Structure 1
């Protein structure tokens, strides 16, 4: 029967937990039954071998009436029998013989601190039926018995012990060392737990990467998020629905702005045509010139609004890896030439040999806007400094103009904000240039802020993440 696939997160956790507990339970229940130190029946081969030994002993001491002498000679089996009667056992595994009376009292003399003698005493005390031979392992010493034997005209019981050359089994060590048993259970359960952690972390990593893409402005639906456990499938489906909703919202916003711009440009065009006709009929006047200026400013503002909206919607769709040199080298040379034509100087450092993932046109326009502002508002000097540290690019653009008041430094990146100083007075700007620049930098996971420059004017600092190739 095929087991149903567990897709619930908590179901998998409980399944692994109970499987681990089952392994522990099976180990605890099975190991005692596999313990060779448990008393068990003597194997047929071992029984036949011991019976041969018993018969040799009875035959050898058939005429001996002194039990003490027999026992002393049994302690040293190599001297107890002639060479032809020695047991065919290797010297490293000579059998030891222990004699008890029918009541279980050990008659074989002990040789000091004799571990085997202690084992025999324990084994004899656990024998319930003297007619049923058993065997048991004591460390590396195997005892078997009892076997009825006739010596010195009396009946006794024989126990045979042999040294085991085999190391104790691994599970025997586990029984003696609970810590090892715990380590074994951990070793067995670790692959299961690793598999569980991988199952849990894989969807989480996919969700994390999807969130990072959204943070970079890449609103893409990922079908892989809707796999795995039911909880992650639901989270992935909700995430994809959110991305789809954001895409639809931004598309509607773009469509709305396009419609608004179209509707605004129609009356604006008619207004400028009327102004041109009035100028032809009545000639030039201050009032008509003002109307034309404001109409041009309104048209420029609409164009900037559309550019800002378009940037927010599709900047992630044209990303590519670009070297910083190919991105900005031409811009710096062109603006340096333009500054010289205005009787000013533009100084810039060498461009780091690094790469960036970007929408090229956006970053070119963003830096161009800031540099042209620095040239325009600076008295006679503007500086551009580029440095790369680890995975970050730092750009500083500063001028020696009048600068911006401290309380307005955080506001100049807001759309339509116009500073109150002469820096923006009579500039003809719409107040959207720095807002578009800030939006472009943010679209590339960067940061931009403005401070007072040591040259006396404005210092704009940009931080952008770089990529390693």
Structure 2
């Protein structure tokens, strides 16, 4: 955010600087060089002496008056030939010299002027030029005056721009904070700006959008939780009825049919449990934090796994635990990762736990087919399943990994998937040893 306003002020300063040069060159083109005019004012006394005192003398006294001026003036007045004067002046000033005008040499602190154009002062005067040197011209002071003038103009422009930008900057900082909080799961975050704020229309629309999103998410969670709870009762009734029906059935074909129905019902019951688990994680319940021995937790999770063909090995470093966590939620996340590995592992599952500074890293990897790179982020989305998992052999509803990410995020951690050295997928969970304050609520 600060970068945006820094660039804005840099652009304003560059624009003011460019405008200064444009104004200077435009004024020089239309009305003459401003510095030349300043120098002419500073040399006005010497010019006045030549034009109003020396030039007003009778013809035979012109040189006499010039010598008097030389005696009393600190300026050096010399008579030089026209050709020499031409060699000392730029080409742009030669026409003015030929017209008999006073031509200033600002850098040399001097001016040139033809004695006269017709030779009326004395013999050969039409070929000579008055060359006045050591004029009291101080361009440095003039430049300082111009700089001060433009600085005042720049400040006069920048001050209202600063005040205007400051209100925008504060408003955008507020919107940025609201966006961060809303994105972190605090759905009640709002800007709540006053109508007089410069970006009130934008803030109002963002607040309305946030209200709508919060209502939709709350409605979705409520519906999911309610439907999941309501499904438990008919599922329990169906299980009881199928159990009674199976006990009375004598036909083997009927028993086989009932067994298939019980399998479908068990799958539906598992889905309801997964949905309820997801609803609990998203309900914003506080974590029940305690110091958890990571090695013991991994051992408990391993013992609760269903039998599988893959060989599971756990390598937990001595300094990996304990960690401050909710053992039930963290255990659920690790259990889902291990069950997912069981589904796809060809024969090996390897779990490692290491401490890295203030964080603990848990990695679960297998030697299965792995996950394509373009799918590695999407596997954490609810109900998303890879094509190869859409069969009854692997099962699953696409909620297990979503629950893993939600549980880890509640602890202030993160989870991602990469390629394993074993050839399959490697799920990496990174947890702070002490959960962030935001993860406690």
TM-score by length of 2: 0.54
Give the distance between the partners of 1:335 and 1:360, measured in 2 at CA.
10
1:240 matched to which residue of 2? 207
Distance 1:338 1:233, change over 3 A: closer
RMSD: 6.2
Distance 1:345 1:392, change over 3 A: closer
Which consecutive unaligned segments of at least 5 residues does structure 2 have? 1-8, 21-26, 28-37, 43-52, 78-135
Of the three residues 327, 332, 335, the one matched with 2:298 is 335
Give the distance between the partners of 1:449 and 1:281, measured in 2 at CA.
50
Of the three residues 338, 350, 369, the one matched with 2:336 is 369
CA contact under 8 A between 1:335 and 1:372: conserved in structure 2?
no
Give the distance between the partners of 1:189 and 1:247, measured in 2 at CA.
43
The answer to whether the aligner puts 1:110 opposite 2:77 as a matched pair is no
The answer to whether the aligner puts 1:397 opposite 2:360 as a matched pair is no
Distance 1:225 1:319, change over 3 A: farther
Give the distance between the partners of 2:318 and 2:157, measured in 1 at CA.
58
> Greater Rg, structure 1 or structure 2?
1
Give the distance between the partners of 2:56 and 2:393, measured in 1 at CA.
126
Of the three residues 329, 332, 351, the one matched with 1:383 is 351
Of the three residues 400, 412, 415, the one matched with 1:433 is 400
The answer to whether the aligner puts 1:212 opposite 2:180 as a matched pair is yes
1:269 matched to which residue of 2? 236
Distance 1:388 1:276, change over 3 A: same
Give the distance between the partners of 1:394 and 1:468, measured in 2 at CA.
16
- Describe the SS at the equivalent of 1:110: helix
Give the distance between the partners of 1:426 and 1:102, measured in 2 at CA.
120
2:169 matched to which residue of 1? 201
Distance 1:223 1:212, change over 3 A: closer
CA contact under 8 A between 1:386 and 1:395: conserved in structure 2?
yes
Distance 1:305 1:244, change over 3 A: same
The answer to whether the aligner puts 1:298 opposite 2:258 as a matched pair is no
**1:48-59 correspondence runs (5 A):** none
CA contact under 8 A between 1:101 and 1:107: conserved in structure 2?
no
Give the distance between the partners of 1:218 and 1:345, measured in 2 at CA.
39
**1:280-319 correspondence runs (5 A):** 281-282=248-249, 285-311=255-281, 313-315=282-284, 318=286
CA contact under 8 A between 1:446 and 1:465: conserved in structure 2?
no
Distance 1:299 1:339, change over 3 A: closer
CA contact under 8 A between 2:313 and 2:350: conserved in structure 1?
yes
Structure with more contact order per residue of length (Cα contacts < 8 Å, sep ≥ 6): 1
Distance 1:205 1:272, change over 3 A: same
CA contact under 8 A between 1:336 and 1:347: conserved in structure 2?
no
Distance 1:192 1:412, change over 3 A: closer
1:135 matched to which residue of 2? none
- Describe the SS at the equivalent of 2:350: strand
Of the three residues 334, 345, 350, the one matched with 2:313 is 345
What are the Cα deviations for residues 318-368 of structure 1, in whole angstroms up to 9, with x where unaligned?
Answer: 589x9xxx77x5344321365489884301357789x99x99976664344
Distance 1:237 1:386, change over 3 A: farther
Which consecutive unaligned segments of at least 5 residues does structure 1 have? 1-12, 29-34, 40-98, 119-163
Distance 1:409 1:245, change over 3 A: closer
Question: What's the CA shift for 1:398?
Answer: 0.9
CA contact under 8 A between 2:187 and 2:210: conserved in structure 1?
yes
CA contact under 8 A between 1:394 and 1:463: conserved in structure 2?
yes
Of the three residues 205, 218, 223, the one matched with 1:256 is 223
Give the distance between the partners of 2:328 and 2:196, measured in 1 at CA.
40
- Describe the SS at the equivalent of 2:421: coil
Question: What's the CA shift for 1:269?
Answer: 2.3
